Amino acid sequence: MSYTNSSIGSGSRTGRRAFEFGRTYVVRPKGKHQATIVWLHGLGDNGSSWSQLLESLPLPNIKWICPTAPTRPVALLGGFPCTAWFDVGELSEDCPDDFEGLDSSAAHIANLLSTEPADIKLGIGGFSMGAATALYSATCFAQGKYGNGNPYTVCLRTIIGLSGWLPGARNMRNKIQGSHEAARRAASLPILLCHGLCDEVVPHTHGERSNHALSLAGFQNLAFKSYDGLGHYTVPKEMDEVCNWLNARLGL
């Protein structure tokens, strides 16, 4: 559930291409189905490894959907193809975001959630690039539309991002604060961010900056947790935080 590249970011654009998403793994609730969370893996991973971890969590009332990203050329890897929710280059404020790829993945995730029963609480979580995609989905929910202008119709109840960053952070504040309805939705969405202080792939400072950008844009129900000694992976203490967050925010 981790990878070893020395840098990761919100990379370069590629030509318009249709990428096929991989296999989706589903963990059925062991108790009463009260919530459904789509969980997104990191670069080069797949939905299977996270589904095994999530199945072991003491959250019997959650259904987990773990899709696999498309295999696509990745700028970070010199164009070598691997599973990625969008194209990535270096982790830099000046590096252009692949909004076409982000919109495609966010729409795929929303489609997975759109068939859930009306009384089920919906959320998105992820690790690293998956966390970035989850946070991008949060901004789409707040604005009520994707970056390409198409409507975003899923009602999200929570977002979780582990060891990630926020794509499109530079322009988000103006987009959300320019609309009363977008500001209202942003303020209502609980977001948990967790990041290791020793993360060598997505540095802790990027998590801090993402938290700051979300706060400035009007996301008021934010929690940012730092973990001393934690690199670019997850540990039981962090997953305990996720469990406590979901139980409290979703009333499980």
From first to last of the 252 residues of the chain, give the pLDDT tens digit. 333 333 333 333 334 567 899 999 999 999 999 999 999 999 999 999 999 999 999 999 999 999 999 999 999 889 999 999 999 887 766 677 899 999 999 999 999 999 999 999 999 999 999 999 999 999 999 999 999 999 999 999 999 999 999 998 888 888 898 889 999 999 999 999 999 999 999 999 999 999 999 999 999 999 999 999 999 999 999 999 999 999 999 998
Check if 232 is active-site: yes
Residue among 41, 199, 206, 210 flagged as catalytic: 199
Cβ neighbours around 209 below 10 Å, total? 15
On whether the CB atoms of residues 65 and 37 are closer than 8 A, the answer is yes
For domain 25-250, the CATH architecture is 3-Layer(aba) Sandwich (3.40)
Check if 41 is active-site: no
Q: Give CA–CA dist 157/139, Å, rounded.
A: 13
On whether the CB atoms of residues 217 and 186 are closer than 8 A, the answer is yes
Residue among 128, 137, 163, 210 flagged as catalytic: 128
Q: Where are the domains of the chain?
A: 25-250
Check if 128 is active-site: yes
| Helix pair 129-143, 169-177: axis angle to 10 deg | 20
Structure tokens at 54: 């999530």
